Chain A
Amino acid sequence: MLTFILRRLLQSIVVMLVVAFVAFLIFRFVGDPVSSMLGQDSTMADHEQLRERLGLNDPFYLQFFRFVANALQGEFGISYRLQQPVTQLILERLPATIELAFASATIALVFGIVLGIYTALRPRSLETAVVMTVSLVGVSLPTFLIGIGLIYVFAVELKMLPSFGRGEVVNLGWWRTGLLTQSGLRSLILPAITLSLFQLTLIMRLVRAEMLEVLRTDYIRFARARGLSKRAINFGHALRNTLVPVITIAGLQLGSVIAFAIITETVFQWPGVGSLFVNSVQVVDVPVMAAYLVFVALVFVVINLIVDILYFLVDPRLRDGAKSGR
């Protein structure tokens, strides 16, 4: 188990280095930063001086090494647009994105798994037919359309919920949370539902397909032949066997919910990392884009690591596999 985690960590470091390299290349390809930093009327000598000071005359690998060393200390430079340290910008907006992501992931997991089990256990019922049809809509409609639709119904027509922003927030140290105020919670509802809908239908369909598969296996038949109760069979034996593939997909989906909440954040003007990224793209704010890239990679790597560890907890066969090193 320990060697397995160590090996995974090593692999993760390689992945992070590759991503850092790509992020670093962005800097070099979007043009000379010096000319955008100095005005029109600067001399060649000024240029040369600044290049020397920023270390842009150093060899390529040295610059990359410096970039990685800075990144390790959380240094990604200064945003061109906002003239603030990038790390600080991201950290300020991270709580908003994470709260949104976890709210929608929770909705997606709870409803996805419950509905998936229900539709698998009653494959012929009317409710199943309805849920499956509606879920098709969830998969096929684009996120922004769902978001705008929800805003129209619940904010514009019914005037029940706010249509944008985070509402009132409370500062807990550097973490600025919207979960403790009523308006914060009300503001969270629509974006969280919008963001979760696609994941919800995906997880539901996955759970249903896996569960139907598991219910056909010999060990479920044998469990029934032993006279175990329906509850013990469906939730004790079948569900846990269903979870292995679901964990993989759900983990990756959580990653993409955090990393690519961009559209939802834009529609609801949610002050998170995603909208920061969109605004930065528009003005070619390279340090923010590079930092965002590295941040997204980090999120995926960490989630993958957690998923791998969860496998071990769920499936005893893997524990033995790791012992013999395979």
Chain B
Amino acid sequence: MSEPVLSVKNLVVEFPSRNAVFRAVDGVSFEIMPGEILGVVGESGAGKSMTGSAVIGLIDRPGHIAGGEIRLQGERIDDLPEEIKAKLRGKRIGMVFQDPLTSLNPLYTIGRQLVETIRTHLPLSEEQARRRAIDLLAEAGIPKAAERIDSYPHQFSGGMRQRVVIALALAGEPELVIADEPTSALDVSVQAQIIKVLKKLCASRGAAVMLITHDMGVIAQTADRMVVMHRGKIVETGTVADIIRRPREPYTIKLIDSIPTILRKPGEAFPPAVAANDDSAFVRIKGLVRDFEFAMAPFARLRGKTETFRAVDDVSFSIPKGKTFGLVGESGSGKSTCAKMIVGLLPPTAGQIFVDGHDVWAGALGRRQRRRSVQMIFQDPYASLNPRWRVKDIIAEPIRALGLSRNRGEIEARVAELLEKVRLDPAAMRKFPHEFSGGQRQRIAIARTLSSQPEFIVCDEPTSALDVSVQAQVLDLMSALQEEFGLTYLLISHNLAVVRQMSSNVGVLHNGVLVENGPVDEIFENPRADYTRKLLDAVPDISKVA
């Protein structure tokens, strides 16, 4: 039996604050064998990223390791002086971060960043390092690596940048790679490729991987063993298949249950399928088109020369009253542009949008009608609530802006009622948004949406910023409210499982074109368009566990 690459024993990480000590990691022990991929799952705040930071020695002050030991190849590393620890980084332990858009220095070419890293760790000349960098990029799946090495990070797409980040992390030939949410910021179809690249590169070098993620689907497809973390502690350890099929701890069971899956659970009632493009439907979208113009050189513009990019191309669908229509697609497919046109934030180039028979873009009357009956829920509950306003004012804003009521007592009573509807304590109305968690904030956002008594709500990625278990609660709330008020939803999401769980009909958007549109089960079971099939295949899902 060979020695583990990494062994962590009783690790404790503490953050002292003014009057208390917060234990971010509390007695964590695990081992990773050579070539093994260990998945670490848990919700945000569970201490999984902190464990990774502790191993590589990058805990931000005032946090520090307060106990336990970390051994790399049997040799203790947590008590080494900072200079020696710094030499381990990149050389023996590599790290991949979550967001490829921010992990590369925007001002230097990727080649320069690679060469710099390679030469820090290996005794190579500039020329040799450059050749090595090209090889690494090619291995990471960057086409025409020799030409692209002198490009800047912003000239690459998100998925390509993450390949560059992986190449950088592996540049010093480390024996252990810590991947902290390496695919969470990427599209589904790109996610699968990145996981493949990471797996392949680590396997070819025999490097062990510590894969930190909140996405159980990613772990199911990638890891050999996994640990489940909750509030700084490991609650369960075992092989991936074991834990997913037979979770023992109540927390693990809850976590796995709350994951939406794209396969329908047996015995679940099928929502009745409804005919698409029905003329009597509550919401009708007809031939929606949106062009964006690129301004060319100033003189070309004078001659009327512009280059246009068609973000949304002839999209038509309809939603019957009280139903949910799911709109899926990758980033850049035009989903959000559609949403903006439907709620009236962006004028369409062509096409019409009817809500309850009114054209929302028809003059002042249409606008007034639209403001009251169409509302929107945004993706990021941290950014969509004004941090300087009290919850009461946030929720009451649509009531005041639309002049639905001017009576102070009446408004307050209405806000209290709305808070109860979204399962929050009415006393919350006197607090500020920062006093709430992400899930609670999204409920406040929903309460604000409901305050003008809309009939149609556009939800743009309403749960993608939330943890899985919180996501389940918010989705449940949305369904309950739909039943109670007969709301009609347009649900925009890149998460196919969420869409399957919530919608009766679904449309698949690809490069601005609606490639497929129909009842949700039909499309998920028998996708006709190639793109839909590709999208469905790429979804990491716990049901795909080996």
Contact = CB atoms under 8 A, between A and B. Distances in A.
A226 B89 contact: yes
Contact of B296 (A7, A315, A320, A325): A325
B88 interface: yes
A313 to B, nearest CB: 10
A232 B109 CA distance: 15
Interface stretch (B95-103, B194-202, B262-270): B95-103
Contacts of B404: none
A217 B153 CA distance: 15
B152 A225 contact: no
Interface string B52-78: 000010100000000000000000000
B331 interface: no
Contacts of A324: 294
A226 B168 contact: yes
A218 interface: yes
B97 A227 contact: no
Contact of A219 (B58, B88, B103, B120): B103
Looking at B90, B94, B99, B121, the one whose CB has the most chain A CB atoms below 10 A away is B90
A241 interface: yes
Interface in A88-147: none
Contacts of A237: 105, 108
B107 A221 contact: no
Interface in A223-266: 223-230, 232, 236-237, 240-241
Contact of B120 (A218, A232, A315): A232
Given A316-B152, A317-B152, A222 B103 contact: yes
Contacts of B297: 3, 325
Given A217-B102, A218-B99, A219-B103, A225 B154 contact: no
In the complex, which range does the number of interface residues on chain A fall in?
Answer: 20 to 34
B169 interface: yes
A319 B56 CA distance: 36
Contacts of A317: 106, 152, 154
B154 A232 contact: no
A315 B95 contact: no
Interface string A177-216: 0000000000000000000000000000000000000000
A326 interface: yes
A314 interface: yes
A228 B91 CA distance: 10
Nearest to B165: A222
Contacts of A7: 298
Nearest to A217: B102
Contacts of B86: 224, 227, 229-230
A225 B178 CA distance: 10
Given A225-B89, A227-B89, A320 B298 contact: no
Nearest to A232: B116
A128 to B, nearest CB: 15
A218 B296 contact: no
B157 interface: no
Contacts of A227: 86-91, 117, 120-121, 172
Nearest to B178: A225
B384 interface: no
Contact of B90 (A225, A240, A316, A320): A225
Contact of B95 (A6, A222, A230, A236): A222
Given A228-B116, A326-B294, A316 B97 contact: no
Given A227-B88, A227-B121, A232-B116, A222 B168 contact: yes
Nearest to A323: B297
B294 A218 contact: no
Contacts of B121: 227
B180 to A, nearest CB: 10
B120 A221 contact: no
B117 A241 contact: no
Contact of B58 (A224, A229, A230, A326): A224
Contacts of A217: 102
Nearest to B109: A316
A314 B105 CA distance: 12
Nearest to A3: B297
A29 B543 CA distance: 84
Nearest to B83: A230
B294 A225 contact: no
B105 A219 contact: yes
B298 A226 contact: no
B295 to A, nearest CB: 5
Interface in A270-326: 314-317, 320, 324-326
Looking at B116, B165, B171, the one whose CB has the most chain A CB atoms below 10 A away is B116
Contact of A226 (B102, B154, B172): B172
Contacts of B116: 228, 232, 236
Given A225-B58, A228-B117, A316-B152, A218 B103 contact: yes
A317 B101 CA distance: 13
A326 B171 CA distance: 36
Nearest to B118: A226
Nearest to A2: B297
B104 interface: yes
B106 A316 contact: yes
A223 B114 CA distance: 11
A31 to B, nearest CB: 43
B168 to A, nearest CB: 6
B155 interface: yes
A231 to B, nearest CB: 11
Contacts of A320: 152, 154-155
A95 to B, nearest CB: 37
A326 B294 CA distance: 8
Nearest to A10: B298
A106 to B, nearest CB: 25
A324 B307 CA distance: 10
A325 B168 CA distance: 32
Nearest to B299: A3
Nearest to A240: B107
Interface string B227-245: 0000000000000000000
Contact of B106 (A3, A223, A226, A315): A315
Given A227-B90, A326-B295, 16 more contacts: A7-B298, A219-B103, A219-B105, A222-B97, A226-B89, A226-B90, A226-B94, A227-B86, A227-B89, A228-B116, A228-B120, A230-B86, A232-B116, A240-B107, A241-B106, A316-B109
17 contacts: A218-B97, A218-B103, A219-B103, A219-B106, A222-B95, A222-B97, A224-B89, A225-B95, A226-B168, A227-B89, A227-B120, A227-B172, A228-B120, A237-B108, A241-B107, A315-B106, A325-B296
Closest 8 CB pairs of A and B: A227-B90, A227-B89, A225-B95, A226-B90, A218-B102, A316-B152, A222-B103, A219-B105
